[in-house]
Chain A
Amino acid sequence: MSFLSPLALIGAAIVGPIIVAMYLLKLRREERPVASTFLWRQMVRDVEANAPWQKLRRNLLLLLQLLLMLLLILALARPFFATQGISGSNLIIILDRSASMAAVDEPPNRLAAAQQRAMQLVEQLPDGGRATIIAAGGTMEVPASATADRRELRRAIQGIQISNGGNSDLSQALNLASALAAREADSEIAIISDGNVTFPDDLRVPARVSYFPVGRASENLAISAIALLPGLGEQTLFVQVSNYGEQIANRRIDLFLDGASFTAYNLEVNPGSEANLNLSVPTHVEVVEARLAGSDALPSDDRAFAVSAVGSETTVRLVTNGNRFLQTGLELLSGLEVLQVTATTTTFTQTVAEVPVTILDGVVPNPLPPGNLFFIGPLASTTYFSVTGEIEFPSVRPVGGNEQLLRNVSLSEVSVLKAARMVPGGWARTLVDSDGTPLLVAGEREGRRIVVLAFNIHNSDLPLQYAFPLLLANLMEYLAPGIGGEASQLIPGQAFALQVDEQISEVRITRPDGQVVSSRTGAIQIQANQAIYADTETLGVYTVEGFSADERVSRQLFAVNLFAPEQSRILPQRDLRIPQVSGAQSTLSRERDGRQEFWRWLALAALLVLLVEWLVYQRSGLSYLRERWRQGKAA
Chain B
Amino acid sequence: MTTAPPLLTPAFLRQLDRLALLTRRAMAGELQGERRSPRRGASVEFADYRPYTPGDDIRQIDWNLYARMERIFLKLFVAEEELNVHLLLDTSASMDWGEPNKFQYAQQVAAAFGYIALTNLDRVGVTSCTSDGSAAPLTGVRGRRGAVALFSFLQNLSASGSGNLANVCRRYSNTVRTPGPLLLCSDLFDAGWRDALNALAARTFDVTVMHILAPQELKPNLEGDFRLIDLEGGPTVEISADPDLLRRYTQTLHSWQTEIENFCHGRSMNYIQVDTALPIEEFVLGRMRSQNVLK
A202 sits at the interface (CB 8 A): no
A46 sits at the interface (CB 8 A): yes
Note all chain B residues with C-beta closer than 8 A to A57: 240
How distant is A312 from chain B, measured CB to nearest CB, in Å? 87
CB within 8 Å of B: which A28-62 residues: 29-44, 46-47, 54, 57-58
Note all chain B residues with C-beta closer than 8 A to A390: none
How distant is A179 from chain B, measured CB to nearest CB, in Å? 68
Q: Which listed segment binds B: A361-369, A552-560, A619-627?
A: A619-627
Range for the number of chain A residues in contact with chain B: 20 to 34
Note all chain A residues with C-beta closer than 8 A to B231: 33-36
- Contact of A620 with B228 in the complex, beta carbons under 8 Å: no
Closest B residue by C-beta to A36: B189
Contact of B226 among A29, A41, A623 (CB under 8 A): A29
Bound state CA distance, A39 and B193, in angstroms? 13
Bound state CA distance, A58 and B224, in angstroms? 11
Bound state CA distance, A36 and B165, in angstroms? 14
- Contact of A44 with B229 in the complex, beta carbons under 8 Å: no
Closest B residue by C-beta to A42: B252
Closest A residue by C-beta to B256: A39
How distant is A554 from chain B, measured CB to nearest CB, in Å? 84
Closest A residue by C-beta to B250: A39
Bound state CA distance, A41 and B191, in angstroms? 11
- Contact of A29 with B97 in the complex, beta carbons under 8 Å: no
B222 sits at the interface (CB 8 A): yes
Closest A residue by C-beta to B248: A43
Note all chain B residues with C-beta closer than 8 A to A620: 223-224, 241-243
Bound state CA distance, A619 and B235, in angstroms? 28
Given the interface pairs A43-B252, A620-B241, A620-B243, the reply to whether A38 lies near B228 with Cβ below 8 Å is no
Contact of B228 among A34, A42, A619 (CB under 8 A): A34
Bound state CA distance, A47 and B239, in angstroms? 7
Bound state CA distance, A38 and B231, in angstroms? 11
- Contact of B238 with A29 in the complex, beta carbons under 8 Å: yes
- Contact of A40 with B223 in the complex, beta carbons under 8 Å: no
Given the interface pairs A40-B239, A41-B237, A620-B243, the reply to whether A32 lies near B248 with Cβ below 8 Å is no
How distant is A579 from chain B, measured CB to nearest CB, in Å? 73
- Contact of B222 with A39 in the complex, beta carbons under 8 Å: no
Note all chain A residues with C-beta closer than 8 A to B226: 29-32
Bound state CA distance, A8 and B239, in angstroms? 39
Note all chain A residues with C-beta closer than 8 A to B232: 36
Note all chain B residues with C-beta closer than 8 A to A34: 97, 217, 228-231
- Contact of A40 with B227 in the complex, beta carbons under 8 Å: no
- Interface secondary structure of B, over-half rule: mixed
Question: Can you name 25 A-B pairs with beta carbons within 8 Å?
Answer: A29-B226, A30-B225, A30-B226, A30-B227, A33-B229, A34-B97, A34-B229, A36-B94, A36-B187, A36-B234, A37-B235, A38-B234, A40-B228, A41-B234, A41-B237, A43-B245, A43-B252, A54-B240, A620-B242, A620-B243, A621-B223, A623-B243, A623-B244, A624-B243, A627-B243
Since A37-B236, A38-B191, A43-B248 are in contact, a sample of 14 more A-B pairs with Cβ atoms closer than 8 Å, ordered by chain A residue number, is A30-B226, A32-B226, A35-B94, A35-B95, A37-B230, A37-B234, A37-B235, A38-B230, A39-B189, A39-B253, A40-B228, A41-B234, A43-B252, A58-B225
- Contact of B214 with A35 in the complex, beta carbons under 8 Å: yes
Bound state CA distance, A34 and B232, in angstroms? 9
CB within 8 Å of A: which B228-278 residues: 228-232, 234-245, 248-249, 252-253, 256
How distant is B225 from chain A, measured CB to nearest CB, in Å? 5
How distant is A36 from chain B, measured CB to nearest CB, in Å? 4
Given the interface pairs A58-B240, A627-B243, the reply to whether A38 lies near B189 with Cβ below 8 Å is yes
- Contact of B237 with A47 in the complex, beta carbons under 8 Å: yes
How distant is A29 from chain B, measured CB to nearest CB, in Å? 4
B281 sits at the interface (CB 8 A): no
CB within 8 Å of B: which A372-389 residues: none
B190 sits at the interface (CB 8 A): yes
- Contact of A37 with B228 in the complex, beta carbons under 8 Å: yes
Closest A residue by C-beta to B242: A620
How distant is B273 from chain A, measured CB to nearest CB, in Å? 14
B140 sits at the interface (CB 8 A): no
Residue among B190, B223, B240, B244 facing the most chain A CB atoms (10 A cut-off): B240
Closest A residue by C-beta to B240: A54
Note all chain B residues with C-beta closer than 8 A to A38: 189-191, 230, 234
B98 sits at the interface (CB 8 A): yes
How distant is A32 from chain B, measured CB to nearest CB, in Å? 5
- Contact of A39 with B252 in the complex, beta carbons under 8 Å: yes
